[in-house]
Every structure is written in structure tokens, then in C-alpha cells.
Amino acid sequence: MPRKRGGDELMKKVWRLLDTGKQSAAYNMALERVILTARSRGMVPDTIHFLEFSPHCALIGYHQAVNLEVEEEYCKEHGIDINRRISGGGNLYMDEGQLGWEIFALKDTPGIPRRLEDMYSLLCEAAIAGLSRLGVQARFRPHNDIEVGGRKISGTGGTEMGNSILYHGTILTDFDVDTMIACLKLPLKKLENKQVQSFKERVTCLREVLGYVPPMKDIKKAMAEGFAEVLGVELKPSGLSDFEQSLLDQELPLFQSDEWIRGSRPSQGSQLQVVDYKSPGGLIRVSLRLDPQRKRIKYVFITGDFFAYPERSILDLEAALKNSSSQPDDLLFNVRRFLGDHNVIIPGVTSEDIFQAVWTAIERVEG
């Protein structure tokens, strides 16, 4: 059940509901910084913002490097914009049917937890409440995902400026997964149908869950109601302030520039490795992207012909290992802890087998 915030109906605070429609990636990325600046200076109220993208685009996280995350030639050939978010997290693809949602608020807003983990959980619950109004039974998956039956339907991330936060996410509506696979660097060999199929099974969208895509205005209405309910606020539709519009005009050239999109970032890597490991319970195939310099598993997919109970546990394990340490002791600890805490049963496959399969892939990258 979503937690209601904000108390008495009569005491509800009014937040702005802002919908800027379809815009370019540079416009939307610049606008995030503009609204956050305006909020931190007290020039606009707390805000829920809906955004859409046109043309379609590939976005990377603030600290990521374009060449490691995006298939640049493919994007160029297919008119896919590339840009960088001001928030953290990984690469993502936004086609013209996706909906982005954003929360801009003061850090000390009553009811918004101070600890990051608690804040992620609450703000994702607000999005989940919106999805439930559409008939989608979603749930929060630590650290920052929203999933349906183990399959991701929304990724989230955030940042801060002064006394204010931005927390945002996406809702996959009717998703062009083939283009996503083609334009992003993912932990899979794109020419292998089984790998591509297995990746597709890790994400879902409204069309798949509901059997149809609700009109965008209905999706926005449901999401807005969910945010208002869980945050305990009243939403009042409004546009950009004069200050925001003026600042946007100033900021946009930077967000269109290579300086912003491809500027230097901390040294990092992203190498793909796929290994097959034979265990008594069956074949375990591990596909991973590793940052060997920083000793991090960026993403890992674990497939094979074994059976895991509960069925979704392997997808949850993948989420738990994302961005985790690739050091063998840490990896073994994380795998054992996850499988133990979640009472996972995989006949013929031990936690040591899972560890060994992932570790073999890591060792091959590290040479």
C-alpha cells in the first residue's frame, strides 16, 4: 500500500503540474537544470513535470562516457539524438511514445525522507500508485527500479542543487526494444537471437502488461493522481515561469554542445564478456559489462537452462549485482547473501556455481 503523506486534506500544499510535451533531448536536459535552479532559488513551487522526447534519443548518466554507452554510428544513421542527463544512472533509450516524470522539491519537504534509500522508495511508490490506477501492479525494486513481475517498467535516478532535489523516471508505454538494443551498448551480443530474446524478457511496457496502450492523457492523469496521493499534495497545472523560460534560452546552447554531451569524464571502461559455465543443474550463461579500472560490474545478465524458484529471483539478483564490486570476495559475499536472504532454490546449482560463472566472465575481461 502506498504511504500517504501530507496529512489533513485541508492542509494540502499546492504543487505545480508542468507538462512541456514533446521536446528535443537537449531541451529536456537543459530544462531539468533550469527548473532545479529555479526551485533552489525559491522562484517556483515544488513541481511534478511530465516530459516526452522528439526525436527519439539515447541518454547517458552524468558521469558516463558516450563512446562507452551508445552506438554512435547507429544513432547518427537513424536520427537518434544523444545527450547527457544531470542525474546519475545508466544509458537509456527514449522513443517518442515514452513518458518521463520528474519531481522537483525542497530537500526538507515534510514527508520526503532524508536518507537517499528511503527517498527512492517513497518517490517510486508515488509512481507505482499512478501505475496502479492504470491497472498495473508494479513494485519497487532496490535500488531504483520499478518492475512488474520482475521485469523493469521504469528506471529512476536523481540529483540535487542547493536545497532542492530532482528525482525522475520513465514509464515504458509501447516500447521499441529492437531500437533500444541497437542504439545502446548493453551486456549482450546483438547478433545472437537467444541473447536478444533474453534481454527482451527483462523489460516490459504498458502495452505488454495491459494488452493496449492507454491514451497519453490518461497515463498522465493516472500518474499525476498517484503522485498527489502519495505525496499528499494538490497539483495545479501551470507553465514555465518567465525566469525559467529566460534561463532555458541561456542554458540550451550548452546542452546542445559537445562540451556537455562528450565532455571529459572520470576514467572508466565498459567491456563485454559472455561465458558459459556448466553446473550439475544445467548451463549458466553470464553476459556482463565490466569496468575493469574501477572494478565494477556495470550490468550482468544470467541465463541458462536451469530452473530458479522463485522464478523472478535471477532478475532480482542481476539488479542486486548491478554496479557492485567485481572483487572475488565481494562477489561471492553478494551472491551468497542474495540467494540466502531471498530463499532462492535452484536445483543442481549452488551459490558457488553462480559466483564461479560470473567470476569466470570477470577474469576473462581482466585477462
Partner 1 sequence: MQVDNWRIPEDLYYDWGDYWIKVTGNQAVIGMTEAGQSNIGDILYLDLVSEGTVVLRGEKVGSIESGKWVGSLKAPLSGVVVEVNRQLEEDPRQVNTDAYGQGWMFRMELTDVGEISKLMDPRAYKAWTEEQMCLAKEGEMSS
CB of 163 to partner 1, least distance (A): 12
The 10 Å CB-count burial string (b at 16+, else e) for 224-237 is: bebbbbbbbbebee
Nearer to partner 1, 209 or 321 (CB): 321
If one asks whether residue 367 binds partner 1 (CB under 8 A), the answer comes out as: no
If one asks whether residue 62 binds partner 1 (CB under 8 A), the answer comes out as: yes
365 burial via Cβ count (<10 Å: 0-12, 13-18, 19+): middle
If one asks whether residue 343 binds partner 1 (CB under 8 A), the answer comes out as: no
User: With contact defined as beta carbons under 8 Å apart, do 25 and 96 qualify?
Assistant: no
Residues within window 242-271 making contact with partner 1, judged by CB under 8 A: 265-268
If one asks whether residue 164 binds partner 1 (CB under 8 A), the answer comes out as: no
If one asks whether residue 21 binds partner 1 (CB under 8 A), the answer comes out as: no
If one asks whether residue 328 binds partner 1 (CB under 8 A), the answer comes out as: no
Q: Which of 87, 170, 303, 313 binds partner 1 (CB under 8 A)?
A: 87
Q: Which of 68, 106, 161, 213 binds partner 1 (CB under 8 A)?
A: 161
If one asks whether residue 152 binds partner 1 (CB under 8 A), the answer comes out as: no
If one asks whether residue 88 binds partner 1 (CB under 8 A), the answer comes out as: yes
Quick note: the x/- pattern for partner 1 over 172-211, rule CB under 8 A, is ----------------------------------------
If one asks whether residue 325 binds partner 1 (CB under 8 A), the answer comes out as: yes
Residues within window 99-138 making contact with partner 1, judged by CB under 8 A: 111, 113-118, 120, 122
Nearer to partner 1, 306 or 338 (CB): 338
Nearer to partner 1, 74 or 260 (CB): 260
CB of 114 to partner 1, least distance (A): 5
CB of 10 to partner 1, least distance (A): 18
**Interacting span for partner 1 (CB under 8 A) from 72-80, 275-283, 291-299, 310-318:** 291-299
Size of the site for partner 1 (CB under 8 A): 39
Q: Which of 150, 158, 187, 226 binds partner 1 (CB under 8 A)?
A: 158
Residues within window 215-244 making contact with partner 1, judged by CB under 8 A: none
Catalog residues that contact partner 1 under the rule CB under 8 A.
Answer: 3, 5, 61-63, 86-90, 111, 113-118, 120, 122, 143-144, 155-161, 265-268, 293-296, 323-325
